[in-house]
Homo-oligomer: A and B are copies of this chain.
């Protein structure tokens, strides 16, 4: 999730559709129909942050132009998205016992909110705990809710909390977010590397995730952490929402050599649609200042009611008018997708568009428009079989590997 941070909203340009618009118009019927047949999962949905927003209802159709939200039940149906990994995101805070306890509580609240969402709509959503649950839930006509953790900070120094979250349903976990923490280095900490990868605690965290049966997620982590996760983890690693450094050089993107190593170990990169990681963004200091002042005036986005959000979005659009900035397009996003496909092939690529966490580009504004991704892939000659892997087969393969590698009760006893 990037949206709640000042850098995030500052980077998001609202409604300024520049560049070519080859992506305009409704996605083709063929790709929509294909979405009905395929199991489609996005590996990084930041939508849980909206569940606590006053007046926001997962069952109601919202308009991204009005409240910036990108995922709800009606739009998942429109876009043919069967589900995905719903992220328990916690911003990196003070690395103190009090900060860790606060983060633990916040993450638990988010987990409870996701579970309450599912409990509230038992005919629409269902928690998925194993890879095989996903197609079964989709076959029952429901949306698939895997849980994941973005930022291991809420674990503090108590790795038994990883089991707590596992028991609440979490099946994927990434150690860090924007800043280095006690588990390891972030790709974007302005202070640089603290651990040269994983910390000693972070290495135990990897072993514990393996033991429990959680997929390890290297998005947001430094290159060193990615390398060490590939080396240390007994199971393939995922980049749940990342991009290609060869297409645009940004710390949140991964270079081709690392992508090949990731693929060789069975892992997958899921492509992110967050504009700042796709193309060079504007550096206009006046624009930056205007956005920061706007955000300071409104405070925490997720505490704003619908009216305040609409006002915010209007003021945000005024800033885009006063200080225009280029905005990434579906073409830009697809350039990352196609590059990854060229480098590692359709067995190692998927989609994690960072919906509700900063994702979304011109031509791919919300989850209702994801058939456009499929349309582009079909036009480029990828087959239905390829698309089945890209839209869920690859991540479920990793999850099955994690399930298979999980020590049984008997072998765990023997190891004692």
Query: Bound state CA distance, A322 and B186, in angstroms?
Result: 69
A112 at interface by CB-CB < 8 Å: yes
B120–A167 CB distance below 8 A: no
Cβ distance A337 to chain B, nearest Cβ, rounded Å? 37
A164–B108 CB distance below 8 A: yes
Query: Bound state CA distance, A111 and B105, in angstroms?
Result: 13
> Of B97, B120, B158, B163, which is within 8 A of A119 by CB?
B120
Q: Restricting to A111-155, which residues have a CB under 8 Å from any CB of B?
A: 111-112, 115-117, 119-120, 122
A109 at interface by CB-CB < 8 Å: yes
Query: Bound state CA distance, A163 and B108, in angstroms?
Result: 12
Interface flags, A11-40, vs B, CB<8A=1, else 0: 000000000000000000000000000000
> Of B97, B108, B111, B122, which is within 8 A of A120 by CB?
B122
Contact A168:B112 (CB < 8 A) given known A101-B160, A105-B163, A160-B101: yes
A104 at interface by CB-CB < 8 Å: yes
Closest B-chain residue to A161, C-beta based?
B101
Contact A104:B168 (CB < 8 A) given known A112-B112, A116-B115, A119-B116: no
Query: Bound state CA distance, A291 and B66, in angstroms?
Result: 65
Closest B-chain residue to A111, C-beta based?
B112
Cβ distance A212 to chain B, nearest Cβ, rounded Å? 12
Q: Restricting to A239-267, which residues have a CB under 8 Å from any CB of B?
A: none
Cβ distance A204 to chain B, nearest Cβ, rounded Å? 15
> Of B97, B101, B108, B120, which is within 8 A of A168 by CB?
B108
Cβ distance A251 to chain B, nearest Cβ, rounded Å? 34
Residues of B within 8 A of A163 (CB): 101, 105
Cβ distance A119 to chain B, nearest Cβ, rounded Å? 4
Residues of B within 8 A of A101 (CB): 158, 160, 163-164
> Of B109, B122, B158, B168, which is within 8 A of A167 by CB?
B109
Q: Restricting to A89-116, which residues have a CB under 8 Å from any CB of B?
A: 97-98, 101, 104-105, 108-109, 111-112, 115-116
Query: Bound state CA distance, A101 and B208, in angstroms?
Result: 15
Contact A167:B105 (CB < 8 A) given known A120-B120, A120-B122: yes
Cβ distance A10 to chain B, nearest Cβ, rounded Å? 30
Residues of B within 8 A of A122 (CB): 120
Interface flags, A280-291, vs B, CB<8A=1, else 0: 000000000000
Query: Bound state CA distance, A26 and B158, in angstroms?
Result: 55
Residues of B within 8 A of A115 (CB): 112, 115-116, 119
Cβ distance A163 to chain B, nearest Cβ, rounded Å? 7
Residues of B within 8 A of A120 (CB): 119-120, 122
Cβ distance A169 to chain B, nearest Cβ, rounded Å? 10
Q: Restricting to A149-183, which residues have a CB under 8 Å from any CB of B?
A: 158, 160, 163-164, 167-168
Residues of A within 8 A of B (CB): 97-98, 101, 104-105, 108-109, 111-112, 115-117, 119-120, 122, 158, 160, 163-164, 167-168
In the assembled complex, 17 residue pairs joining A and B whose CB atoms fall closer than 8 Å, in A order, are: A98-B160, A101-B160, A101-B164, A104-B164, A105-B160, A105-B163, A105-B164, A108-B164, A108-B167, A109-B168, A112-B112, A112-B115, A115-B115, A115-B116, A115-B119, A116-B116, A119-B119
Q: 4 more A-B contacts (CB under 8 A) besides A101-B160, A105-B167, A119-B120?
A: A101-B158, A108-B164, A108-B168, A116-B116
Give the 4 A-B CB pairs with smallest separation, nearest first: A119-B119, A101-B160, A116-B119, A119-B120
